[in-house]
Structure 1
Amino acid sequence: MTTAQQVQQNGNGRYVQINGIRIYVETAGDPQGIPLVLIHGGGSTIPSNWGRLLPLFEGRYQTIAMELQAHGRTGDRDTPESFEQDAADVAGLLRSLGVNCANIAGFSDGACTTLELAIRYPDLVNKIVVISGNYKRDGMIPGFFEGLEGATFDDMPAALKQAYLDVNPDSAGLLNMFHKDRARRLAFTDRPEEELKSIKAPALLMAGDQDVITNEHLVQMSRMIPGARLALLPGNHGSFIGEALTNEPGSPVPELAAGIICRFLDRL
């Protein structure tokens, strides 16, 4: 993918023109070593998804966190969202920043994008951390897709609505993000097992024991990706990493999750 090299500074973050949209990105930490790229989930922003973990990573790695198409401060294009396009945007952003190889951590929809990166852009990927991701529709808990089919904007959690408006006070953009995220997840199709088996990057798969991803699916996925490691933590979808919607104040589990991730990344 070709990328424009235009970069605009904006406070602690910056905007980079990639594949026809302006992507918001924040970088922090030590520029030495392999950077850690953080990919948020659907309906999220950098602070709502990574607010608990990001400070724990910044002291150890250079972190690169972006907001993807139609999310937060990033622009939109006149096409549906897709994991393929998100992966192309992440790859384009890394190349524009001069990053030749990175560790990738993604949550929920961002975990699906992380798998896409490992499969389609293996040259850019060192290790992957797949947090609450799935590769088959039946990997979600029973009733998930039926519930999403009937969901309206009124059903979007207030915490995620506010998180968007905190960084971008555009109510029309918020509504647009909801519809695009919903459509992308409803259109999810099973990924062939051969693609998971082709992943060369060392992988850590994580989820909560009461997640929307079933425990059985996580185990199944760990057996598909060669040499994958598995971590099942107490919590529901996002609580074990301190995601804004399910964050449990005072819980030590996000720090435990960060420690597991760092141990995985630091081991040769």
Structure 2
Amino acid sequence: MKTFTIYIAAVWLLLSSFTNIQQAGTTPPSAKDSVPNRHGYADVNGIKMYYEIYGEGKPLVLLHGGGSTIQTTFGRVIPLLAQHRQLIAVELQAHGRTSDRAKDLTFEQDADDVATLLQQLHINKADFFGFSNGGTTTLQVAIRHPEVVDKMVLGSALCKRNGMPPGFWDFMKQAQLSNMPPELKTAYLQLTSNAAGLQNMHDKDVKRVLNFRDIPDEQLKAIHAPALIIVADQDAIQPEHAIAMHRLLPHSTLAIIPGVHGEYIEEITTLTSGSHEADYVIPMVERFLDKDTVKQ
């Protein structure tokens, strides 16, 4: 069995995915080549939710991974995606610049928060691109608020506990802030300078992972939004799990990409010299989003 070097906070799932990966000691990537048209905070179900809007065209909602920010997950691909569509990038409860509430994190609550934000932004329907935890939140948006979802891209999303490798759940019982990828800790503190907030986010994310329960098959089968499922062949999520999800979602397509968790969008913890996977993955994502849907 391979040596695993993961840290995954809240289906944080995050890590350089169960393999020994060289992590680049870079600062968080920014969307310097694509400046937000608009950014700010919205009062959403008792929290101040931070959002950024880029580009013009059909809306695409970006939902980051656990322990992350807009830029640590999507900073490398925002300039690519914003050329052809309007991006609504958000930071979820207790993450980045968004405030917390006196309740545990849940994927269901995150889904409700996103739907409420879209209402306030007068966006009736959108495509979604969720990565890792954000992919699981995207599934919950499609289950709880199907009317707002057109198409969805599920990057390394979890829907069943057996999607994680053996030993993962025991590992998460012992997770500590010191295990969290330094890139994510640095990015959070650069935005907030709040060490207590970082610890709180970590602890709530870990608790959410440990409390995660399988999404029932009947709920997944009832999702009618077309889905592109993406997973890496050395992902934190097992490829077999992505295949099983593909068989449950009635209008889904599956892509298994060489690499590790998040490398296909050049997520910050996976940056290595000469890594340009997003150059071919993002055009694939855009072809899926732009393709006319065949009515079933």
Task: Give the TM bin, normalised by the shorter chain.
Answer: over 0.9
Matched, 1:28 2:70: no
Deviation at 1:249, TM superposition (A): 3.6
- In structure 2, the residue matched to 1:3 is none
* Aligned equivalents of 1:249, 1:186: Cα separation in 2: 34
What does 1:92-131 correspond to in 2, within 5 Å? 92-131=116-155
What's the TM-score once normalised by structure 2's chain length? 0.85
Contact 2:154 2:230 in 1 (8 A): yes
Specify the code of the residue in structure 2 equivalent to 1:113. Answer: T
**SS class of match (1:134):** coil
* Aligned equivalents of 1:182, 1:74: Cα separation in 2: 18
* Aligned equivalents of 2:37, 2:121: Cα separation in 1: 18
What does 1:49-64 correspond to in 2, within 5 Å? 49-64=73-88
Unaligned runs of 5+ in 2: 1-35
Deviates more, 1:255-264 or 1:18-27: 255-264
> How big is each residue's C-alpha offset from its partner over 1:45-68, in whole Å with a ceiling of 9 and x where there is no partner?
011000111110011100000100
Matched, 1:189 2:216: no
- In structure 2, the residue matched to 1:175 is 199
Instruction: Indicate which of 132, 137, 145 corresponds to 2:169.
Output: 145
What does 1:72-111 correspond to in 2, within 5 Å? 72-111=96-135
- In structure 2, the residue matched to 1:205 is 229
Unaligned runs of 5+ in 1: 1-9
Deviation at 1:12, TM superposition (A): 5.2
> How big is each residue's C-alpha offset from its partner over 1:197-222, in whole Å with a ceiling of 9 and x where there is no partner?
00010000001100011111111110
* Aligned equivalents of 2:78, 2:272: Cα separation in 1: 16
| Count of residues in Structure 1 that have an aligned counterpart in Structure 2 | 257
Runs of 4+ in 1 over 3 A off after TM superposition: none
Contact 2:262 2:270 in 1 (8 A): yes
Contact 1:239 1:248 in 2 (8 A): no
Contact 1:72 1:167 in 2 (8 A): yes
Give the superposed CA RMSD. 1.3
- In structure 1, the residue matched to 2:44 is 18
Specify the code of the residue in structure 1 equivalent to 2:154. Answer: V
Contact 2:227 2:253 in 1 (8 A): yes
* Aligned equivalents of 1:21, 1:252: Cα separation in 2: 36
Contact 1:238 1:247 in 2 (8 A): no
What's the TM-score once normalised by structure 1's chain length? 0.94
Specify the code of the residue in structure 1 equivalent to 2:118. Answer: L
Contact 2:38 2:54 in 1 (8 A): no
- In structure 1, the residue matched to 2:274 is 250
**SS class of match (1:72):** coil
> How big is each residue's C-alpha offset from its partner over 1:17-52, in whole Å with a ceiling of 9 and x where there is no partner?
11011000000101x3x2000000100001100011
* Aligned equivalents of 1:158, 1:262: Cα separation in 2: 31
- In structure 1, the residue matched to 2:260 is 236
Specify the code of the residue in structure 1 equivalent to 2:131. Answer: F
* Aligned equivalents of 1:61, 1:249: Cα separation in 2: 29
* Aligned equivalents of 1:265, 1:250: Cα separation in 2: 27
